[in-house]
Structure 1
Amino acid sequence: MEPGGIEKAEFENFLDDQLNTVEKFYKEKEDEAGQRLKVLKEQLHEMRNRRTQELNAQKQQAEMEFMHGHHGHGDGAKNGPLGWIDPVRSKIFRPGPNSKNLSKMARTPVMRPREGQDARMDYIRRPPEHEVPYRSAKRKLKLALQEFYRGLELLKSYAILNRTAFRKLNKKYDKAINARPQYRYMTEKVNKSWFVNSDALDGHIKAVEDLYARYFERGNHKIAAGKLRSMARKPRDESGSAFRCGILLGTGAVFGIQGAILGVQLLWDHDAHVREQTSYLLQIYGGYFFMLLLFCMFCINCAIWTRNKINYPFIFEFDTRNNLDWRQLAEFPSLFTFIFGLFLWLNFSSYGSDEVYEYYPVALIFVSALIIFLPLPVLKARSRKWFAYSHWRLLLAGLYPVEFRDFFLGDIYCSLTYAMCNVELFFCVYANAWDNPVQCNSNHSRLLGFLGALPPIWRFLQCLRRYRDTRNIFPHLINGGKYTMSILAAMSLSMYRINNTRGNLAMFITFSTVNAIYTSIWDIFMDFSLLDPNPKKKLNGKPDEKPSKLPVLRQTRALKKTWPYYFIAIVDPILRWAWIFYAIFTHDTQHSTIVSFLVALAEVSRRGMWTLFRVENEHCANVTARKASRDVPLPYPTESPSRSPTISDAGKDGAVLETTGTADAPGTADAQAPAGLPRRRRVAWTFTTILAEAHRQDFEKRKKPIEEVEPQLEEAGGMASDDGSGSDDDDDDDGDRSDAASEADSMEIREARELGDNARQGTRRA
């Protein structure tokens, strides 16, 4: 064999394997796209036919009422004093231009009532109790077409990116071995492959544009194509947001630091009443500060996710048309930082009369609540509505299906116990007009202890809801046991603070120790999935010849550096044991408040790091499962397959569910131990893999029933309402529009990048 022949054969086999993977995936998704397009056409035809029937029925009813009124046989109610309402309403709320356009289209023959049945008795096709209003159906189909178009664009970019990757691989390889002729592999295999030569995707894209123009833009193809393509446009310049964030953060930090210094100085004031008031005011401001700090850390995490191409909008199920870029999102904590710093400085600089000194926190909370709940289309109204609605779902935990945002927000509040306890402190001191505020602290109030245990209670109820929906004991009831220990630890701490006895101290130490061990193991094995049970496993599940250089870490990682994974694996369990200082300084009046603040600061910092890796782990799971988009629920029932080109299996009612596996039957191929391993290693491998994949069952994707008439509350990034009259462009107005979705990484781009990395390694070996 010629020199380097073995390496050359290995490299070509590697390229063949990658080409087959790309070819198989592309062909599968292209076929699914064709099926999905067929279903969307049927849905649009059904919407048109139903709307035409509604308009004809309204017209016939109006003619009959006119004839009855003309002959004097009208209904008494209609000829009574309120009989003028219906004619006026029909004149004001006329059918919109889009409805008139639909009425001019020919009916689809297959959608007519079955032969032998009266059109008015078509109970099989149109059950009255499940009738979908036209506006709701139109809104859903618009979103479905937009999401489908986005999926087609992703699949098209997947094909282009992989063709470019193969060309660059071939070029570098030919240059390394000085091959002649060049690009032989591209010419013989890649250029003849299906994903390079197929034009079906372009046809689907053109068909979607035509459908969107015909049904929603009155035949204007230019406007339709512009709206569909705007979802994939390049990111806008957000220098304005960065400037505003800098101004607000800088100014707020200056005010806040100066105000904190003045407040600390007042703790040594000669007036005992001022010292007492200042100490409690600082505690109230401390709770606000921790919420603000965690919000800022979330924005920093969004920047890190964007930089590392982590598709967090898909994980949180943001509407890709309207979700905020991380720079735009950072304007909120920047604004609140400015307000917080300003009020802190005004309060402790003794600005105003002595009577006002106690009420600056009230003004701060009022202004903050006004900004969040302001019912005006300003200040990113959709995002504020999403934020408020998410808290409503958390407040009623257990009554709603658990989405990612629900359990994520619940875990966030599990680290904000300092702020939760300050709710009791705030209302207690102001309800008693600052008379004897000592009665409101943790040594006297049982309500404060309950509020500290409330976030784990929310999470426990969510775990019960997940068990009810899936009937999987693992991980939901096991996870519920973890939050049970958190509840017991919070309750025992409150009991120990109120009644300082050895028994209460022993109970607090016992529950807190078990809780720290429980949560640390859960973080490392499940939330982070850091321990890889098979260090030789590649992304496609095939064993590598050489063991991994990083056997402790999972193979699929989104962050470019490896040290953060080791850092979080060490720091997270350590910070879980910060509760020890509670047992030491609980009844030391001089130090207990400071210790509580520092322990809360450590927990908030840990939660900020946890947030980064929890979302990163979920993204890696989506990459492995090949998830980059999801099907939008359609308004009308259908038996046809309805899968988009870049998503995985859909659950009932078109909802994509994350709960694809159980402890007994893992839902992915990765949970199956490879053949050839000893029995003990195989059992350990399977068990560790199940633990690493348990986080995928913490939630389910948003699910909307087909019978839904109108959503109870449009969420941030949701669709604007369609009033059915006037211009049909109303529900396309995109307030808070951002192109962060275009920055979010799809599974296709990540695979191409990894393909290039592997190819460079293969070139070096050759």
Structure 2
Amino acid sequence: MKFGKEFASQMVPEWQEAYMNYNFLKTLLKDILNFRQRQSRSPGNQVNPRPLPSKATSLKRRGSLFRAFSGLTSRYGNKNPTKDKEDEVILVSAMHTIDEEQGEDAQSYQTIFLRSSEGGSEYEIVFFRRLDDEFNKVVNFYRAKVEEVVKDAEELNIQMDVLIALRIKVNDPAVVSPLINQRNTGHPMEVIHEEHQEKRSGDVKEFQMASLDVLNHIKINTTAETPLSALKTVFNSSKSGLHYNKNELRDAKEKLKQAFIEFHEKLRFLKNYVFLNQLAFSNIMKKYDKITSRNASDAYLKMVEESYLGQSDEVAKLIERVESAFVKHFCNGNRHQGMRTLKPNTKRKKHRVTFFVGCFFGCSLALVVAITVSVYNRGLFRSTGRTQYMDTIFPLYSLFGFLVLHMVMYAANVYYWTRFRVNYSFIFGFKPGTEMGYTEVLLLSSGLSVLTLAAVLSNLEMELDPNTKSYETLTELVPIGLVTVVLLITVCPFNIIYRANRFFLLVCFWHCICAPFYAITLPDFFLADQFTSQVQLLRNLQFYVCYYGWGDFKQRDAKTCSNSNVYDVITIVIAVIPYWIRVLQCMRRFLGGHDSTQALNALKYFSTIVAVVARTIQTQHGGVILQIIAGSTSGIATIFSTYWDIVVDWGLLRRNSENPWLRDKLILPSTSIYFIAMVLNVILRLAWMQSVLDVHEAPFLHRNALIAIIASLEIIRRGMWNFFRLENEHLNNVGKFRAVKSVPLPFSYEHDDKNM
């Protein structure tokens, strides 16, 4: 792999703009190369060759053969200050300027090209000017990030002071291991480095216990982790005093542990940032020397090594101190366990996953062929039981079809997110190494497809009992058995079938149910948005309850469900629930002060609720007035939702952006894809209005089949929405250089008094 691709693949996606623009500098080098090639082909205007060495120069070079040899230990070749002036190509100097925003002394680097009299020198002057811009950008970003992590280290110092004091207070001080007073009196993270200040008296070591005075100045932060605690937070203070119990200690320790993990990851990102940029500057200068036949890399790389980028060691020291403190305080001194937690292994692709995806996909195709042949040979499309089958069995199995289609769309999203380096794992908050790739998602979807198609085939093979005129109960229970299997796998506590992802999904699902009582995060409202596109799946679940609860499955007849007014009311409620959850989530975010636009977002979902209720009532009862009301409310909701999708969620249709009517930053290489996506979103948004237009059944399709097609189109639209929504979120993180999760710390200070 070429260095440019390797360099891009190793970048922190959210910091991409802060790295050296290697490809841009390569284009400048190509301009220099093209000019030299043109000059070499032009007989009357050739590039002046380097002058042959004169006799004096030859004597100097011959004399250099008798100098002491030091080339193998010199990093940048000849660093002798007595280097010949005529061999110098560039002069690099550091300049001190005043930062107007912060009013602080800043340092920048400038390169002077000493061969400006030669032909084509303007290209090289431009190259070094842009090279300096890139280097100053890298140095300034790194310096700002170092200052940021130093402040974070000071904060963690104080948090550790409180944790250790709380540990002593909770436990019996007589049995607590001796701890030193870990006040932050020196370099940040000196506490965490644990440079023990020991008082020796002969062979006896005396330790000074950690001070408990810090407990008088702090309060513990309580997050709304349960609906009950959320209610307490609303009616009482959001913070509470310390009660000095073990549960409090355990929770505080767990939060600090997570804070250390995220802080260590940020430090590793910074360390890798320095290494990659130094390597990039080295490679670009070597390319310059190769193209121009000059020797400028020594001087420039020496400047890089002597700059803040090469000389700063704060990050390396902080990494060492964080690891030492983490192993001692959170892993009981087990360094292997601590390092495995701080540096999780990179997830590797498993060939058996790809193998089973192929197997399940092949089995699915075979089952589709078998079902088609069975239907054709038995003439089921022309039989009298066709309508009965579509009214009863088809809704039971179409539920799994919606689920499989949604999973396939998500697998496609993961594939393209990975391809275009959208950091979906960080955005969703997956535990490192547990996120599912597109092959794993396809494995689950294809496996579920095989089970569903096998169940469909078993139902087709069932015959009516001529004596009792009833269907075999065991066969009719296949759909509910399949639902039971899927639910049991979802809640299975054993470490099989991607347990971390299943539990992550269940937690987000629980947060959606208890929407107003939890702090709303992106995975929560993202999952709720998926449910708004799966209304028909929820209605099919309702049909399961009615069909099997009232015993209609024994006669394969759904009259109890279709003739029940209660069932019709529940159908409306089921359709409203996903949108109502989003209304509650938006209001929680609005009242929490996170985003003032969430009030409008809540209004958007409320308009959709009105439209859904009107459409459902009109479908159930008919009537011209109801149809007009349903049409108008659906039109308003469609326009409102389409505008919000494209302008707010996707961030497109920016009139004055660098990409006309799109946005300034785009990930996809072709701008036409965005316009196609906007048009498709509008068309697919209109598809759900078919019920308003009273298009309940096509001449060649059953009503349930048409509903399934419309529901599938909405799932496809949601899959497309998912990609661009997360792309926009990724670009927002890139714009703010957010590459690490923000972890709430367990302790806060009274009156913001940190000088305890």
TM over 0.5: yes
1:143 match: 258
Q: CA 1:4–1:506 in 2, change beyond 3 Å: closer, same or farther? A: farther
CA contact 1:269–1:275 (8 Å) conserved in 2 = no
- Residue 294 of structure 1: CA displacement? 0.5
Match for 2:325: what amino acid?
L
Pick the structure with greater CA Rg. Answer: 2
Q: CA 1:502–1:172 in 2, change beyond 3 Å: closer, same or farther? A: farther
CA contact 1:209–1:224 (8 Å) conserved in 2 = yes
Q: Distance in 2 between matches of 1:351 and 1:570?
A: 47
3-state DSSP class of the match of 2:687?
Answer: coil
Which residue among 505, 525, 535 is the counterpart of 1:387? 505
3-state DSSP class of the match of 1:578?
Answer: helix
Kindly indicate whether residue 545 of structure 2 is the aligned counterpart of residue 427 of structure 1. Answer: yes
2:695 match: 585
Match for 1:482: what amino acid?
K
3-state DSSP class of the match of 1:111?
Answer: coil
The 5 Å alignment of 1:374-413 reads 374-413=492-531
Q: Distance in 2 between matches of 1:163 and 1:318?
A: 31
Kindly indicate whether residue 326 of structure 2 is the aligned counterpart of residue 212 of structure 1. Answer: yes
CA contact 2:417–2:424 (8 Å) conserved in 1 = yes
Q: Distance in 2 between matches of 1:242 and 1:442?
A: 48
3-state DSSP class of the match of 1:637?
Answer: strand
Q: Distance in 2 between matches of 1:424 and 1:237?
A: 39
CA contact 1:141–1:635 (8 Å) conserved in 2 = yes
Q: CA 1:123–1:407 in 2, change beyond 3 Å: closer, same or farther? A: closer
Match for 1:161: what amino acid?
L
Q: Distance in 2 between matches of 1:106 and 1:390?
A: 50
Which residue among 209, 227, 243 is the counterpart of 1:129? 243
1:152 match: 267
Kindly indicate whether residue 402 of structure 2 is the aligned counterpart of residue 255 of structure 1. Answer: no
CA contact 1:39–1:641 (8 Å) conserved in 2 = no
Q: Distance in 2 between matches of 1:622 and 1:402?
A: 18
Q: CA 1:472–1:635 in 2, change beyond 3 Å: closer, same or farther? A: closer
3-state DSSP class of the match of 1:470?
Answer: coil
Q: Distance in 2 between matches of 1:569 and 1:312?
A: 22
Kindly indicate whether residue 507 of structure 2 is the aligned counterpart of residue 507 of structure 1. Answer: no
Q: Distance in 2 between matches of 1:526 and 1:105?
A: 64
Give the TM-score normalised by structure 2: 0.69
2:685 match: 576
Q: Distance in 2 between matches of 1:575 and 1:471?
A: 31
Q: Distance in 2 between matches of 1:418 and 1:453?
A: 12
1:716 match: none
Q: CA 1:423–1:394 in 2, change beyond 3 Å: closer, same or farther? A: same
- Residue 607 of structure 1: CA displacement? 0.7
Q: CA 1:477–1:619 in 2, change beyond 3 Å: closer, same or farther? A: same
Q: Distance in 2 between matches of 1:354 and 1:421?
A: 26
Which residue among 535, 541, 564 is the counterpart of 2:673? 564
Match for 1:503: what amino acid?
I
- Residue 45 of structure 1: CA displacement? 4.3
Give the TM-score normalised by structure 1: 0.68
1:297 match: 409
Which residue among 691, 713, 725 is the counterpart of 1:602? 713
Q: Distance in 2 between matches of 1:557 and 1:620?
A: 8
CA contact 1:446–1:494 (8 Å) conserved in 2 = no
1:162 match: 277
3-state DSSP class of the match of 1:374?
Answer: coil
2:611 match: 489
User: Which range is displaced more, 45-54 or 461-470?
Assistant: 45-54
CA contact 2:511–2:518 (8 Å) conserved in 1 = yes
Which residue among 280, 284, 287 is the counterpart of 2:392? 280
Q: Distance in 1 between matches of 2:458 and 2:405?
A: 21
3-state DSSP class of the match of 2:546?
Answer: helix
Q: CA 1:265–1:461 in 2, change beyond 3 Å: closer, same or farther? A: farther
Q: CA 1:313–1:9 in 2, change beyond 3 Å: closer, same or farther? A: same
CA contact 2:346–2:433 (8 Å) conserved in 1 = no
Q: Distance in 1 between matches of 2:321 and 2:487?
A: 47
CA contact 1:528–1:614 (8 Å) conserved in 2 = yes
2:6 match: none
Which residue among 304, 310, 329 is the counterpart of 1:196? 310
Structure (1 or 2) with the greater strand fraction: 2
CA contact 2:651–2:663 (8 Å) conserved in 1 = yes
Q: Deviations over 1:241-290 (max 9, x none)?
A: 22233333432443355346646877837874574145421122112211
Q: CA 1:122–1:12 in 2, change beyond 3 Å: closer, same or farther? A: closer
Q: Deviations over 1:683-724 (max 9, x none)?
A: xxxxxxxxxxxxxxxxxxxxxxxxxxxxxxxxxxxxxxxxxx
1:460 match: 583
2:133 match: 17
- For these two proteins, the number of residue pairs brought into alignment is 577
Q: CA 1:157–1:443 in 2, change beyond 3 Å: closer, same or farther? A: farther
3-state DSSP class of the match of 2:516?
Answer: coil
- Residue 149 of structure 1: CA displacement? 1.3
CA contact 2:328–2:334 (8 Å) conserved in 1 = yes
CA contact 1:410–1:459 (8 Å) conserved in 2 = yes
Q: Distance in 1 between matches of 2:297 and 2:323?
A: 36
Q: Distance in 2 between matches of 1:174 and 1:322?
A: 45
3-state DSSP class of the match of 1:579?
Answer: helix
Match for 1:307: what amino acid?
R
Q: Deviations over 1:590-618 (max 9, x none)?
A: 54323212111111111111111111111
1:552 match: 661
User: Which range is displaced more, 19-28 or 241-250?
Assistant: 241-250
1:729 match: none
Match for 1:158: what amino acid?
Y
User: Which range is displaced more, 218-227 or 611-620?
Assistant: 218-227
Q: Deviations over 1:214-257 (max 9, x none)?
A: 2244445455345433x2x4432321222233333432443355
Q: CA 1:166–1:319 in 2, change beyond 3 Å: closer, same or farther? A: same
Q: CA 1:21–1:533 in 2, change beyond 3 Å: closer, same or farther? A: farther
1:334 match: 446
Q: Distance in 2 between matches of 1:638 and 1:360?
A: 60
- Residue 165 of structure 1: CA displacement? 2.6
Which residue among 448, 454, 460 is the counterpart of 2:571? 448
Paired-residue identity, %: 25
CA contact 2:395–2:540 (8 Å) conserved in 1 = yes
Q: CA 1:303–1:429 in 2, change beyond 3 Å: closer, same or farther? A: same
1:37 match: 153
Match for 2:710: what amino acid?
V
Q: CA 1:386–1:223 in 2, change beyond 3 Å: closer, same or farther? A: closer
Q: CA 1:501–1:163 in 2, change beyond 3 Å: closer, same or farther? A: same
CA contact 1:254–1:341 (8 Å) conserved in 2 = no
- Residue 31 of structure 1: CA displacement? 1.9
CA contact 1:492–1:508 (8 Å) conserved in 2 = yes
User: Which range is displaced more, 352-361 or 511-520?
Assistant: 352-361
CA RMSD of aligned residues (A): 3.4
CA contact 1:267–1:278 (8 Å) conserved in 2 = no
Q: Distance in 1 between matches of 2:420 and 2:483?
A: 36
Q: Distance in 2 between matches of 1:403 and 1:608?
A: 20
CA contact 2:411–2:437 (8 Å) conserved in 1 = no
Q: Distance in 2 between matches of 1:326 and 1:415?
A: 21
Match for 1:440: what amino acid?
C
Kindly indicate whether residue 587 of structure 2 is the aligned counterpart of residue 477 of structure 1. Answer: no
Q: Distance in 2 between matches of 1:228 and 1:336?
A: 36
Q: CA 1:125–1:533 in 2, change beyond 3 Å: closer, same or farther? A: closer
CA contact 1:266–1:278 (8 Å) conserved in 2 = no
- Residue 23 of structure 1: CA displacement? 1.2
CA contact 2:259–2:745 (8 Å) conserved in 1 = yes
CA contact 2:413–2:723 (8 Å) conserved in 1 = yes
Match for 1:148: what amino acid?
F
Q: Distance in 1 between matches of 2:395 and 2:412?
A: 26
- Residue 363 of structure 1: CA displacement? 0.7
Match for 1:632: what amino acid?
V
CA contact 1:35–1:641 (8 Å) conserved in 2 = no
Q: Distance in 2 between matches of 1:19 and 1:523?
A: 39
Question: Which structure exhibits the higher relative contact order, with contacts defined as CA atoms closer than 8 Å and separated by 6 or more residues?
Answer: 1
Q: CA 1:124–1:289 in 2, change beyond 3 Å: closer, same or farther? A: closer
